[in-house]
Structure 1
Amino acid sequence: MFARQAVSRAVAQRTVPGDARNMATLREIELRLKSVRNIQKITNSMKVVASTKLAKAQKAMQTGKEYGIANSEIFQHSTSDKPTPNKLFIVISSDKGLCGGIHSGVSKATRKALSNADDSPLVTSAKSDLGTDPSVNASTSSKEVDPQSPVVVIGDKSKSQLMRTLNQNFRVTFNQIGKDIPTFADAASVADIIVKSGVKYDSAVIIYNRFLSAISYEPAAMEVKGEEALKESDAFKAYENEDDVTKDLAEFSLANAIYAALTESHACEQSSRRNAMDNASKNAGEMINTLQLQYNRGRQAAITNELVDIITGASAL
């Protein structure tokens, strides 16, 4: 029975006139051309919007770097030989997509840092313009990192990527942070929630995207010491500081570092989105050229067949 049905379908396809098949193919190509042109218009519009937002994001990034430089000056004089095994990893991404592999790069760097990878990209890019603590070179790649270290994720994109392997490490997750341009209020609220969550840590390692140029970025890490680590540092032991002062300083420095990393990651996101939309527009243009060529060839073939039929009928008369 199945063989008979297959044979009947094959015979039916053979009996379809060639003109009908050509018209159907031309119609499909025409519809596809229309959809690709619409996609190209959308990607071009998104590219223009991303270019406008990139200029604003770079201005905000310069402001954020000032906060990071202030942090570096503090931690330059608060070095301590005591190891900090209890680390809190803060991963910074965003809730939006269509920006290339910017979120997957941060997620991959986080997995390497938690799996004690000596060749982690965080080692080569730890010294950023934000004033990264030099000890992050050894700390993020050493064997002292606990695989069960607490992880805080800012942004739904990296959260969904890390949830499959690091779900047990999650302590706090954030979304809707820095929907337009990150502000210090956003960073302060994040730092306040982290402190109130009760997570115990000696230092916080912030993993973010470092802005290199308008077309390139790379994952980087910045370490901020916690309250207990500041108390144990030699520079702070020289002064009689109250507990509240050290606690407030640790929270304020964490907010500064988060704000600096948020602004730089936001600039990287806009740059990556602009480049991704530019590449998508170019690919759409190439597809339009290919489909237009196929459409022209099919149309010429259909016209030629019609002319042959007319000439054959005239000759028969």
Structure 2
Amino acid sequence: MIASTKLAKAQRAMQAGKEYGSANSEIFQHAPPETPSKRKLFVVVSSDKGLCGGIHSSVSKATRRALAGSDQADPASPVMVIGDKSKGQLSRVLGQNMTMSFNQIGRDIPTFADAAGVADLIVKSGVEYDSVSIVYNKFVSAISYEPTTVEVTNEKLLKESPGFRAYEMEDDFAKDLAEFALANAIYAALVEAHACEQSARRNAMDNASNNAKDMINKLTLQYNRGRQASITNELVDIITGASAL
């Protein structure tokens, strides 16, 4: 019941936050870079809490597949993780790629300030990258989700794209836009991943309650059968003794 209430709040925040992601997509759709990015930075979005099924392992597996099976991604690409759960999973297999991790983010509904803080730390971390690939869970319905990747280019590729070269811009325009676009994309990913987490937690709690009810019914039936067998054995002993007399 508590998880259902939190899911409704998370869905409302997700609908508002997805506007940031759609604005980002429109910008990069009309201004694609001329050259593909050579070095990607993977930002994995999870959380610090458990008891929500395979919500964290799905983004961890998607990140490992992207690093292992993609021709565009360097196996030595840096990885940053939001949330302790996926951090623990990825540290065992991609420990050499881990450069930074974030926790205590999105304990309640994520805010744009959380996303802006993460984006600021990424920009100031000194990690070199051509684009940022944000791996998060996309909300499909109240019972399903799927890992998705959204890509945000850096200042250099953004400045060299034909869509932006056609206009006269100030020198720091591309830098500010790249940082703001990264914060927008992270915020959209955070709120959608939070809604997926609450949905998965609600389903996990519902399944746990159903399993507990089934176990109680099974044990009650087993107890009643044992009790009935004990009463039957006592009656047989009484009837046998009475017949012997």
TM-score (norm 1): 0.74
Q: SS state of the match for residue 224, structure 1? A: strand
Q: SS state of the match for residue 58, structure 2? A: helix
Q: SS state of the match for residue 95, structure 1? A: coil
Whether contact under 8 Å (2:34, 2:160) holds in the other structure is no
Q: Take 2:29 and 2:60, find their aligned partners in 1: how far apart are those partners?
A: 28
1:105 is matched by which residue type in structure 2?
S
Q: Take 1:154 and 1:310, find their aligned partners in 2: how far apart are those partners?
A: 71
1:314 deviates by 4.0
**What is the percent sequence identity of the aligned residues?**
74
1:216 and 2:144 equivalent?
Answer: yes
Q: Take 2:171 and 2:56, find their aligned partners in 1: how far apart are those partners?
A: 38
Name the larger-Rg structure.
Answer: 1
Residue 190 of structure 1 corresponds to which residue in structure 2? 118
Residue 48 of structure 2 corresponds to which residue in structure 1? 95
* From 27, 30, 33, the counterpart of 1:80: 33
Query: 5+ residue gaps in structure 1?
Result: 1-47, 118-140
Query: 5+ residue gaps in structure 2?
Result: none
User: Residues 171-250 of structure 1 correspond to what in structure 2 (within 5 A)?
Assistant: 171-250=99-178
1:259 and 2:187 equivalent?
Answer: yes
User: Residues 4-15 of structure 1 correspond to what in structure 2 (within 5 A)?
Assistant: none
Q: Take 2:44 and 2:36, find their aligned partners in 1: how far apart are those partners?
A: 22
Q: Take 1:112 and 1:241, find their aligned partners in 2: how far apart are those partners?
A: 39
1:294 deviates by 0.8
Residue 8 of structure 2 corresponds to which residue in structure 1? 55
Q: Take 2:171 and 2:227, find their aligned partners in 1: how far apart are those partners?
A: 82
Q: Take 2:80 and 2:180, find their aligned partners in 1: how far apart are those partners?
A: 17
Q: Take 2:31 and 2:241, find their aligned partners in 1: how far apart are those partners?
A: 97
Q: SS state of the match for residue 204, structure 2? A: helix
1:114 deviates by 0.4
**Matched residue count:** 245
Task: Summarize deviations over 1:145-172 as a string: whole Å, max 9, x none.
Answer: 1000011101111111111110111111
Q: Take 2:154 and 2:195, find their aligned partners in 1: how far apart are those partners?
A: 27
Residue 45 of structure 1 corresponds to which residue in structure 2? none
Q: Take 2:180 and 2:30, find their aligned partners in 1: how far apart are those partners?
A: 17
Q: Take 1:269 and 1:259, find their aligned partners in 2: how far apart are those partners?
A: 15
1:316 deviates by 4.8
Residue 269 of structure 1 corresponds to which residue in structure 2? 197
Q: Take 2:211 and 2:82, find their aligned partners in 1: how far apart are those partners?
A: 32
1:311 deviates by 3.4
TM-score (norm 2): 0.95
1:308 deviates by 2.9
1:186 deviates by 0.5
Q: Take 1:153 and 1:302, find their aligned partners in 2: how far apart are those partners?
A: 59
